[in-house]
Amino acid sequence: MSQFDNVSVTTNANVYFDGKVTSRTVTFADGTHKTLGIMMPGDYEFAASDQELMEISSGELDVLLPNADWVSIKGGESFEVPANSSFKVKASTVIDYCCSYFK
């Protein structure tokens, strides 16, 4: 199974939308961060300050990115989010994701 090695992980979860979206923050040796998260089925709008890469480990969702139409994404696929933007997600299943942040 894939794993991140030599990292730090916060013991307390990040909790959004009444717990329907949760994540843990992973910090790498070079100081960069990723979050490993779960979305329960539902509709969400997220604000991104940094540029983000959202890698979907499992599940199916539709995403609405800035200046784009709704796109279907499933496990094994990913999408990029511009810095200082917001995006909408309709998760039709439980989503297991990894989000990377770029300054």
Residues lying near its own copies in the complex (CB under 8 A): 1-13, 15, 18-20, 22, 24, 26-27, 36, 38, 40, 57-58, 94, 96, 98
Separation between Cα atoms, residue 42 and residue 29, nearest integer Å:
34
Give the nearer residue to its own copies in terms of CB position, either 24 or 90.
Answer: 24
Rounded-to-integer distance, Cα 43 and Cα 20, Å: 10
Shorter beta-carbon distance to its own copies: residue 22 or 85 = 22
With CA atoms as reference, report the closest residue to 61 among 74, 52, 49. 74
CB of 76 vs its own copies, minimal distance in Å: 12
CB of 66 to its own copies, least distance (A): 27
| Pick 21 or 65: Cβ nearer its own copies | 21
- Residue 97 CB-density burial (10 A; 0-12 exposed, 13-18 middle, 19+ buried): buried
Q: How many CB atoms lie within 10 A of CB 20?
A: 15
Q: State the nearest-atom distance from the C-beta of 101 to its own copies, in Å.
A: 16
- Closest to its own copies by CB, 6 vs 67, is 6
Name the amino acid, one letter, at 28: F
